Structure formats: structure tokens, C-alpha cells
Amino acid sequence: MKTISTAKSHGGIQGVYAHHSTACACEMTFAVFLPPRSGAKPLPVLWYLSGLTCTHQNVMDKGEYRRLAAELGMIIVCPDTSPRGQTVPDEPDNWQFGCGAGFYLDATQAPFSANYRMYTYLTEELPALIASEFPVDMDRQGIFGHSMGGHGALTLALKNAGRFRSCSAFAPIVHPSTAHWSTDAFTKYLGEDQAAWRIYDAVSLIEDGKRFPEFLVDQGSADSFLDNGLQPWLLETACKDAGIPLTLNMREGYDHSYHFISTFMDDHLNWHAQRLAV
């Protein structure tokens, strides 16, 4: 691991780091906010997954999480959204696929299967690195995200319910198998057989028997992607049928941007803090 930058913020340290990823076969960059800490007690960790076109930088610059994370004593880890580099296959003119659009899955189709292995990266490789380099309590992990990252948070939580104590999302893609901006990516990453898509689809995972204790979702009513891309009512139905408690807050007049996310960031941090026993 190498340090790209560090800066003091709210008594803690916001760092940006890079390392060579075996899972993604390229250099990966991630951010970690380490709050002020007294003593040797390890701290809970909250993972934030960003959306389409984003990197670790977007939430760092616009998410407004550091003040409260410092007060609560929570480490915030912000991975990148996909592999990157000259050797990584990409479609530069397609913002819904390739670099910036990894969808937090393990691709099975060539040539993307060599690098687009974000699920393995986030469930195995990066957690091992974080555990070795930072004072984290890996028994107290939560996960949240925005849009494509909300999709990632929901699916990672459902598939790893014993690892995460809490999960929330801002405007998540809840059913990517039917969303207009993810079906093309799923076809290219996973192939034509839609049965293979179900393990990376929150609604399908719930329908297929996966469970999580509860979810928190915030969704803006003025989000231009609401009807064709996000469809939170599908998650609401799936959770109701499965008996999974879901708090779905429809936020009147809010859009898909970080103006929306930053407005309700404190609500999500406090919600996770309660469940991580901060």
C-alpha cells in the first residue's frame, strides 16, 4: 500500500491510498477517513460505495461525512467503482459501462472477466488490506452507497449477512436486471443468461431467499432516474413479502445528486452508529 495524500479534518485524517490489486489485475485507489482516536481500541468501519461515473473522490469532496464520523468514532472506507488503467478494457463513450461502472460484480465474460472483479475485491482483498493497515474492528462493519453503489451495498449485505451489521442506500438501483441503465452492462459482464444476473440483483436475491435484518433507503422524489432506473417500490414489495424491515424515505423535491446525499448523510451515519454499537 502506498499513500497518495493525507489531510487533517475534524481532528482525524482523510487519506487516499493505492495498491496493486490481484483481484482486478491493476492498481486500485481508495480513501479512508480515520477519526480522532484515543487508546488502542479498534473502531467500527463503514464502507461507502459510489455510483456510476464516480471514484472515491466524489463522496470525499461532496458527501460531508467527516464531521459526524469524527464525533461518532467511525472509520469510513471509500473504494473506487471499478478497475482502471490502460490495460483495462473500457468503452470510453459509454458512461454506463466499463471504467466507473463496475457494478460491484465479478464479470464472467471475456475480456472483462480479467479485471472487473469488484465483488471479490470488496469482499476479500480490500477488507484484508484495511484490516492489516488500519485500527478497524472487523466485527463491526456497515455498508452503504449511492445509486450503483446503493445496488452494491444491498447485494453485498444480502450475500454477506454475517459480515455486515447494517446496510443503507441513497437512491439505489434495486433491480438492475430490469433497469434501463444496467441491463446492457449485465449482458456484457455476465452474459445473455439472465439467471446468472440474479446473484447481483437485490430484488432477485431476496426473492431467492437471501435475508438481512433491515434496510434504510432514502430516495428523492425529483430524481430523473426514479421510474426507469431505480424503482424503489420493487424493493419495498420484495422486503414486505420476505418480512425484511425496510425504512423507505421518499424525500420530496430532491434529485439524484450529492446535494441530496449530503442533506441526509448525518441520518445514515447515525443509523449505522446505532447498529454498530458506537
Please list the active-site residues. 147, 223, 256
* Residue type, position 177, single letter: S
Answer whether 160's CB lies under 8 Å from 123's CB.
yes
DSSP-H helix ranges across 26-65: 57-62
Beta-carbon count within 10 A of 46 CB:
28
How distant, in Å, are the alpha carbons of 7, 42, 117, 131, 276 from that of 11? Answer: 10, 17, 35, 22, 22
- SS3 breakdown of the chain: % helix, strand, coil, rounded to 5? 35, 25, 40
- Residues whose CB falls within 8 Å of the CB of residue 5, separated by 6 or more in sequence, listed in order: 15, 16
Partners of 260 in the beta sheet?
A: none
Answer whether 52's CB lies under 8 Å from 148's CB.
yes
Q: What angle do CA 13, 138, 242 make, to 5 degrees?
A: 120
Q: Give SS3 for 141.
A: strand
* Residue type, position 98, single letter: G
For 191, list phi and psi in degrees, rounded to 5.
Answer: 100, 180
Answer whether 131's CB lies under 8 Å from 34's CB.
no
Answer whether 22's CB lies under 8 Å from 122's CB.
no
Answer whether 242's CB lies under 8 Å from 273's CB.
no
Would you state the cell numbers that stand for residue 111, as one nine-digit string?
Answer: 475480456
